[in-house]
Structure 1
Amino acid sequence: MYERLNGKKDGFIRTNSICPTPEAVLLELVQKNDRENIIRLIENNTSLLNHIYHPEYNKPILLIACSEENIEAETVKTLIDLGADIHYSSDIDEEWEAIHFAACSTKSDILKVIVQNLRNPGDINALAKGNTALHILIKHGRSDLTEEFIECAKILVQEGIDVNLGDSNCVSPILWAAKRGYKDIIKVILEKSIVPVDIDSHQSRKKTARDIILTEKLYDGPLPERIDNNNENDENILLKYLYSENENAFVNFKNGDIFNLVNADNTSSTLLQISCDKRLKRAVAHLIDKGTDPNLTTEKNRQTPIEIAAENGYYEIFEILLDHPKILLPKTILITLLKYIDNEQFPGINHAKCYDILLKKLESNKNFLDINEADESQNSPLHYAIRYAESDKVEELLQLGASLGCKNKYDVMPIQDIEPELLKKHLDSCIQFDLKGKKFDKEDFTVTFNYRTLIPPSKKVEYNVGFETSDPETNFNHIITQELVAETEVISYMSKAPEFMHLLKHPVITSFLFMKWHRIRWLFYINLAFYITFFLSLVVYIFTSYANFNSEKSTFEQIIIDVSWLILLATFFILVFRELFQIAVSPEKYFKNFENYIEIILISFAGSILFINHPSEDTKRILSSVSILLAAFELVLMVGQHPQLSTNVVMLKTVSLNFFKFLTWYSLLIIAFALSFYILFSENEANLGNEVSSENSPSTPKNTTLVSELMVTGGLNASSTKNSNKNETAPLNIAEEDKEEDFFKDPGKSLFKTIIMLTGEFDAGSMNFHHFPFTSSIIFSLFIFMIAIILLNLLNGLAVSDTQMIKNNAELVGHIARAQHIRYVESMILGNILPSKLLKSLSSFCCCFPISNNCSFPKTNPLSHRVCLFPHYLNYELTVYPNKGGQICLPLPGKKKWSLGKDCTCSCLYICLDKETIKRTNCIVQEKREQLKIKQEVGYLQKIENIIKTLEKNASSDKMELFLLNKKLDNIMKYLSRECDS
């Protein structure tokens, strides 16, 4: 299919499809030089000329045509005539344009076409990282194609390319030709140039082009005279100083009077960009002092000066630029520094120092940069910090508000890679209070829980406004910020990851879950009330009418039947709508939840009760019994969603699941026993005849040993034993006696009977051990020993073990259940009603399936606001009074003031956190106070140690002075004694 691109008329792109894309078709046509079809294709979609072929080429079709083999000049001319951008360049290709690619490929006919179609005469001097097309030809051209090589040089020189312009190393084309020994190129430049050739100003290893030409005898004719460069313009002089890294000359040029030149450029880079790239600190400071724009870039080089400094780790230049009041930081500069933070350090090059400088700036002004800004892979700075940096760097980012819930394009969050110990330390730091205050024991002492890092950042979504309008000029892209986000994604992951589960007991997490439950519990109670209504109406309708227990109905009973039917019908449609809504929002999550399958089956049975006309009585009873059972199961599971009851339901689920897992593993044995019993105990005509004859024979052995064994194990009752003995002594008349149902007459019934026997109800009296007395006794005894005794005890032990484990971790189990339930409810409310994944899958398979690129819509419905805590209900934090029983301070409705929160169900009840959360909070507060005391004591000791060191230093200096004085005194005494002697 086709989709709008950037809201322009010719802005259509082809999405993935089973059909070949127009871009692929165009590339194939260009490679075949099929100009007629190229024209036909591009006339219908001119945007194909601007398509970048990732990842094989990373360039548009014109640049591919200029660089590929076997593509004709006429094909290139066709593309240019159709509107291909001849001046397109990118950093991936070192800013090369079409003229540079043509020069590199050494195709004179294509180069001639490019030169003839340049917009302005000066465009022939277009620079790519300081290199002209003539530089590219000499450096990278195919010199083995001698004629083409010389012809390309002639075309460029005759069209007026600047043969005296130096590259980024201040080396001119003729100097490069002299270094490479290209006699023919030197001849072309000297003889075909329309301007005098300078062979003396540029040097390489202190040798000019003149020196090399004369030494190597590369030109037979007379060399040009030395050119006086006094008339060279100021911009070129400054550029030459920078390329030669002559900072003194640059700073002293015109005594620093370069105010009108500070923003000059050479079409490739500005003076400041070149200074940053060359690590010229004095030049950067000089340009900043003279008023250069610190954010200025060129059309070819979009890297800002501070990006260049950050990428190369030039921390001194980085600090100078960062302190500029008008600096605009690139969104991904923090990610750039983190990518290279562990690089090797050199004098003046240190990415870690750049990072520290930026972090100090962010600590003083958090709005200076978005700490969660992601790159093209949707990786946030925290993703890179966890991957590349030390734990202290990760902690610093978390303190600045970096989110643990940022998802990259692979749906990986930072929480998935962080160390549990580091996360625990960070959660402790999220409990904030006045450490220097002295209110710890007073009632007005407050503790604030900071949830900023647990919440994903607001999403910025681009929408195509006016997509369906007929006027393409009205179509434009609009960025919308979605304030409401999935707030429990991080905690939901923690509840499923074993290494993080214990942290769910942390006060920051428990308080968040408490407030989140407080926020959505109204939805739970409404849903519960609705379902109880459905359940009661279903039960009442079944027992009063549908199951037909009483055919005669009184007037009152008929009214009850009519009312229950109407209520059941209404609640049935609401139930169907609820399930369809969940399927539409998130089909993947819906069908992964086992409870939803119970609801689907319940809906089908309830619908059968309501809408199937005149079913049989047996069908009615089957539908009624199954419906009541399923409805009761669902009600139990729904009530178990309440935090106070969740542990009991988790216990039921866990024990049931483990029981069935264990039983499934041993089902092979159970099936084997069932088939064995079918073979041994099934009745057939041959067995019946043998049984009559054998029982009339006095030599038939009595199975008294097996009966005694079963009586000991409790599998037989007295009546069955009595009947067995009676049957053994009297002849059996099968035709006249009423037989019991044979549970072993087919394999299905045999399996059913065997499963019943698992419970210990053997009913051995109904089994016929006479046909194969020895074999049947052995197999039956083996069944009792292995299945009835060992397996059942194992299952009971497993259930007891699971139950005890859940009871021991009841609090943690409750938090896990609450977190997962809240996450499910939140995903349903905040989810996209359109099944976007399904539509996108269809569109990727078939290009004819229409779908807009904007499948998701901003969450503006009232339910979303009623479910989300942030930013409208709480400002990413919660204030609690731990000395008032954990009372919570909530914002007043519609105001910014805060007050003690009251429960919405009763104005006299305050909202309070549970005692365990408050207890753990107080413990963390006490630990922080102890840590502060230790730090203070260590600080005092360090001060005392410094004072002692100072005194020792002073004492040693005093001793030295005393020693010198004594020495001087000795010298004086010696002098006086000599004078006296003389």
Structure 2
Amino acid sequence: MDFNGCGFSDPQAQLSAALAKRNIREFQEALEMGAQPNLQDERHTSIFEKALSTAGCADFVEACLVHGCNINHINPKHNKAAISYATDSRDPSNLAVLLRRPGVQVDRKYGQLTPLNSLAKNVTADNVDQVRACMQLLLDYGASPNAIDQGERTPLHHVLQSNKIKAAKQELVLLFLAHPHLDIDTYRNGQVRQLLQQQYPDLQLPPQRECSADGEIDCDRLLRQLRDGDESQFEQLFAEHQLNISDKDNQRNVKQEQYLPLLLESIKRGKHRAFDAILSSGININRSTPSEQTVPAELAIIWGNWRALEKLLKHPELKLTPRSSLLNTVISRLEEPPLDDFCDHQRCFELLLGSEIIDINEVDASGQVPLYYAVKYRNTKAVQTLLRHGAYIGSRSQFDELAIQDMSPELLEKHFDSCITTNAQKAGVQNFEIIINYMNLMRQQRPGQQSGKMRTSQQLHDEMTPIAHMAKTKELRHLLQHPLISSFLFLKWHRLSVIFYINFLLYTFFTASIISHTLLKFHESEHTALTALTGLFTWIGIVYLIIRESIQFCMAPLSHFWSLTNLMEVALILLSILTRIESNYDKETQRILAVFTILLVALEFCLLVGSLPVLSISTHMLMLRAVSSSFIKSFGLYSIFVLTFSLCFYILFGKPQDQQQQEANSTTTQEKKEEDGDDFNSFSKPVEALIKTIVMLTGEFDAGDIKFDSFSTYFIFLLFVFFMTIVLFNLLNGLAVSDTQAIKAQAELNGAICRTNTLMRYEQVLTGRHGRTGFIVNSQPFRTICQRLMNIYPNYMSVPQISILPNDGNKVLIPMSDAFELKDLSNDKNKASFQPLATNAALEQQKKLLDPPLKLLPCCCSVLTGKCSQIDNRTVKLALSVLDQKSNAEQKRQREQITERRLENIEQKLEHLLNLLQERN
């Protein structure tokens, strides 16, 4: 359909017109252009429903299914399923297209009738052939022949009572009699059998169903009653069946093996009364049948039966496997339409989050956590809910994927803002606290997990993984300046800084020793005692480097050995040993070894100094790295022109034949040229030509020593000056200046990135790769030391949050944690938790000022600043700014609510006045 003759077509109108004309090609084109077959019209009917209910539209139904229509689609207005629409068409082709796909609910009722009941009740002489074909399809795909309507009539009962068909009635009867599970005795006192004996006395009927000789009811009958009958009759039969079980030794086996299919069937069909009766019989709810391969709790989630799930989660015998992944299952179905009235996947999701036995960070077989699935399915509401409940954002799957790598930065920042709260005190009082919650940055452990699995509580976890990912991702990098992240980095640095400073001091000692010893040794100093002392100190430093390298290799052999830093450290150790030992090397070789040793020592020391938590130092180190990296990348491409011009200069100015002739004629002249450096300026050798070209690139031409003897030599030289020296060299300088300005513009962010990289490197040394620690960390007392230095929670804090006192010198208060922290307290150790600062002395004892990383060592930060327990002012100001923004947003929301209520009151009063005026008139 064209709008205003402009050639623009409406895909939705084209879709409807194509279905009316039965033009499948135009129908598919409209779907490709974005038409929606599920879009409801003014009569609350969609194109998909029209195609299902119209005979001869099998191709159109197939096209709708290919473009995303659900086989269990339900009309929200009429509560009618797709299988019922296809049944209304009386077209076996439409029905076959739907049934060929797995998972179709063939017995879903509409108007108290299943599709099979609807066909049997509405069969006529005109449609009997189509109805018979549809019935055959439904029975082949699992439809129950015993489903009853509100009058307890089965499909066969409707066929036998129909007077509209005569000749084809027997074919329909034979169709039902061929079904192995047909029941003609249970309902309406066996009226179906009586009708069959009256109308078809010659037919062979199935044996009559009745109770056994000992009075026991068959469990198959219970299953049929649960599928086809009402719940009250099932409860009576089920109670009678339990009373008839007299052998108490086999009673439990009967319940476990025969009642489990009944329980699963009640979950799928939403039979809540039957579910309660079966559950109260003492059945094992942790088993699964061979056909289902799912436990009852998982099946309740799949079908969205929240009432059954609620009772299962409260059941005292429920035991979940480590790979149960119930949250992952429900998250993948949150966007699906409900299959029936009792289905509510969102309610199941809320029940799982509110249960104490569900781990919010549970992983499935592929190592994925619920937060990853919520982000994958683009379910923003589920992501926000999981984050509010403390989902860990640093979980890594088997494919090395993080849950936050595809998360929206705005969503993550908004949640980080919600993690900053106060203790409800006025902002001006001294005990006003800023409470920062790190529940998403630390792995939360369930209470049962800590007591039942000691290995989990003792395991070392990396806590820098999500922050390191933020530092690497351009879209998330700005979040490093958020007060939640900056305060967490402050805590991590406070714990791990002791390792850094010890290593820094020891390496500084080694650097001063080896450089002093090298200088004294090669200058043959007369101070032999000082030379020997520096040599001894050098050996001590070398031993320290060897021990440090060995420990790192034992902790993470593969990841550490192939790193560039490690290779440089290994080379440094070897060169230091060769420089120190008394060998028979000649003086020149010893000098070369000493030179490379000093270079590596200086480079390592420069990198170590660049890791200091000083903003100016880290900024300059970043500028050095950025400019070097940018220059190498750019020069790597432009080196093609450098090689090209060096070859051109070698060919034009080298003139090897003339030089050979001069060597034969005058050796004295050649020696003079060598003394004057003419070989280097004359490009006589390829390597020297390349070095001379690189030097000329910086502007050092020495053009007076170059002999120009033709126009081509002038042209090539001027081309080099213009293209390489002026254009290329200034381009490289411009790139360096640009990188430098960009780094200076975000100096504070770059400082956070440097601190993140340093902490991540030290943490990886302690934990190895993927948390697999070496035998050194697994042994005591190293394990206890590493736990207290690295894992803030739960080894240092009982709950993952801190408190900052902005009106008391920005002091940081931490909650008490284990017995090591609580040994001096008189209150109960198990009640250590973080509470707002109160006047009660018992509450005040539950937290303390930030203390040194180790009890035996002074705080390393106090050596530099003298303020160990105080956080920086910038973090505090940003946290206060976040609190102000949240307060303003809440006030705005309250004003909007008040305005809305006032408008509603005005509308109500106006309506009241209008009614009064109408009554007077």
TM-score relative to the length of structure 2: 0.67
Pair 1:750–1:417, CA change in 2 (3 A): same
Find out whether 1:637 has 2:627 as its counterpart.
no
Q: Deviations over 1:878-919 (max 9, x none)?
A: 211223343211356612521333562559735222222112
Pair 1:415–1:949, CA change in 2 (3 A): same
Query: CA separation in 2, counterparts of 1:568 and 1:777?
Result: 56
Pair 1:299–1:661, CA change in 2 (3 A): closer
Query: CA separation in 2, counterparts of 1:745 and 1:239?
Result: 99
Query: What residue in structure 1 maps to residue 114 of structure 2?
Result: none
Query: CA separation in 2, counterparts of 1:527 and 1:592?
Result: 21
Query: What residue in structure 2 maps to residue 673 of structure 1?
Result: 645
Deviation at 1:202, TM superposition (A): 8.7
SS in 2 for 1:883: coil
Find out whether 1:431 has 2:420 as its counterpart.
yes
Query: CA separation in 1, counterparts of 2:440 and 2:555?
Result: 27
Q: How many equivalent pairs are there?
A: 700
Q: How do 1:232-311 residues align onto structure 2 when only pairs under 5 Å count?
A: 232-234=215-217, 236=219, 238-252=222-236, 265=255, 267-270=257-260, 271-287=262-278, 295=285, 297=287, 300=290, 303-311=294-302
Query: What residue in structure 1 maps to residue 486 of structure 2?
Result: 510
Query: What residue in structure 2 maps to residue 15 of structure 1?
Result: none
Pair 1:736–1:414, CA change in 2 (3 A): closer
Q: Deviations over 1:709-737 (max 9, x none)?
A: xxxxxxxxxxxxxxxxxxxxxx9983795
Deviation at 1:426, TM superposition (A): 0.9
Deviation at 1:452, TM superposition (A): 1.5
Query: CA separation in 2, counterparts of 1:790 and 1:572?
Result: 47
Query: CA separation in 1, counterparts of 2:767 and 2:896?
Result: 51
Any gaps of 5 or more consecutive residues in structure 1?
1-165, 190-196, 463-476, 694-730, 838-851, 967-982
SS in 1 for 2:814: strand
Q: How do 1:116-155 residues align onto structure 2 when only pairs under 5 Å count?
A: none
Q: Which stretch of the first structure deviates more once superposed, 625-634 or 945-954?
A: 945-954
Query: What residue in structure 2 maps to residue 618 of structure 1?
Result: 588
Pair 1:528–1:231, CA change in 2 (3 A): same
Query: CA separation in 2, counterparts of 1:382 and 1:544?
Result: 62
Q: Deviations over 1:414-449 (max 9, x none)?
A: 111211111111111111224xx3512223211111
Pair 1:836–1:813, CA change in 2 (3 A): closer
- Which of 391, 396, 410 is equivalent to 1:402? 391
8 Å CA contact retained: 1:315, 1:348: no
Pair 1:313–1:265, CA change in 2 (3 A): same
Find out whether 1:813 has 2:750 as its counterpart.
yes
Query: CA separation in 1, counterparts of 2:893 and 2:494?
Result: 39
**Cα RMSD over matched residues?**
4.5
Find out whether 1:900 has 2:858 as its counterpart.
no
Deviation at 1:680, TM superposition (A): 2.4
Q: Deviations over 1:296-337 (max 9, x none)?
A: 646656744333222111234444555667766774322221
- Which of 734, 756, 760 is equivalent to 2:699? 760
Q: How do 1:432-581 residues align onto structure 2 when only pairs under 5 Å count?
A: 432-434=421-423, 437-456=424-443, 480-545=456-521, 547=522, 549-550=523-524, 554=526, 557-581=527-551
- Which of 860, 867, 870 is equivalent to 2:790? 867
Deviation at 1:653, TM superposition (A): 0.9
Q: Deviations over 1:515-550 (max 9, x none)?
A: 1111111111111111112111211221122x2x22
Q: Deviations over 1:111-150 (max 9, x none)?
A: xxxxxxxxxxxxxxxxxxxxxxxxxxxxxxxxxxxxxxxx
Pair 1:242–1:266, CA change in 2 (3 A): farther
Pair 1:259–1:456, CA change in 2 (3 A): farther
Q: Deviations over 1:344-398 (max 9, x none)?
A: 2244143433335416x61xxx634211112222221112212225212210110
SS in 2 for 1:452: coil
SS in 1 for 2:436: strand
Query: CA separation in 1, counterparts of 2:770 and 2:270?
Result: 54
SS in 1 for 2:804: strand
8 Å CA contact retained: 2:420, 2:436: yes
Query: What residue in structure 1 maps to residue 306 of structure 2?
Result: 315
Deviation at 1:619, TM superposition (A): 0.8
Q: Deviations over 1:822-858 (max 9, x none)?
A: 1111011111699999xxxxxxxxxxxxxx9xx9999
Q: Which amino acid aligns with 1:777?
A: Y
Find out whether 1:922 has 2:883 as its counterpart.
no
Pair 1:625–1:332, CA change in 2 (3 A): closer
Deviation at 1:761, TM superposition (A): 2.0
SS in 2 for 1:626: helix
SS in 2 for 1:421: helix
Deviation at 1:267, TM superposition (A): 2.3
Deviation at 1:752, TM superposition (A): 1.5
Q: Percent identity?
A: 29
Query: CA separation in 1, counterparts of 2:631 and 2:183?
Result: 92
Q: How do 1:767-846 residues align onto structure 2 when only pairs under 5 Å count?
A: 767-769=706-708, 772-831=709-768
Pair 1:615–1:226, CA change in 2 (3 A): closer
SS in 2 for 1:889: strand
8 Å CA contact retained: 2:552, 2:765: yes
Pair 1:438–1:206, CA change in 2 (3 A): farther
Pair 1:942–1:565, CA change in 2 (3 A): same
Pair 1:225–1:345, CA change in 2 (3 A): closer
- Which of 343, 350, 368 is equivalent to 2:336? 343
Pair 1:179–1:511, CA change in 2 (3 A): farther
8 Å CA contact retained: 2:655, 2:684: yes
Query: What residue in structure 1 maps to residue 345 of structure 2?
Result: 352
- Which of 713, 718, 734 is equivalent to 2:669? 734
Query: CA separation in 2, counterparts of 1:308 and 1:652?
Result: 59
Q: Which amino acid aligns with 1:445?
A: F
Query: CA separation in 2, counterparts of 1:933 and 1:181?
Result: 69
- Which of 803, 806, 814 is equivalent to 1:882? 806
Query: What residue in structure 2 maps to residue 745 of structure 1?
Result: 684
Any gaps of 5 or more consecutive residues in structure 2?
1-141, 148-155, 157-170, 246-250, 823-831, 833-845, 853-858
8 Å CA contact retained: 2:803, 2:813: yes
8 Å CA contact retained: 1:450, 1:877: yes
Pair 1:389–1:497, CA change in 2 (3 A): closer
Pair 1:914–1:216, CA change in 2 (3 A): farther
Query: CA separation in 2, counterparts of 1:759 and 1:257?
Result: 98
SS in 2 for 1:454: coil
Q: Which stretch of the first structure deviates more once superposed, 512-521 or 298-307?
A: 298-307
Query: CA separation in 2, counterparts of 1:391 and 1:206?
Result: 56
Query: CA separation in 1, counterparts of 2:446 and 2:685?
Result: 63
Find out whether 1:658 has 2:630 as its counterpart.
yes
8 Å CA contact retained: 2:851, 2:868: yes
Q: Deviations over 1:548-571 (max 9, x none)?
A: x22xx54xx222222222221222
Bigger RCO of structures 1 and 2 (CA < 8 A, at least 6 apart): 1
Query: CA separation in 2, counterparts of 1:578 and 1:201?
Result: 82
Q: Which stretch of the first structure deviates more once superposed, 937-946 or 565-574?
A: 937-946
8 Å CA contact retained: 1:332, 1:373: yes
Query: What residue in structure 1 maps to residue 27 of structure 2?
Result: none
- Which of 381, 385, 393 is equivalent to 2:374? 385
Deviation at 1:201, TM superposition (A): 5.0
SS in 1 for 2:813: strand
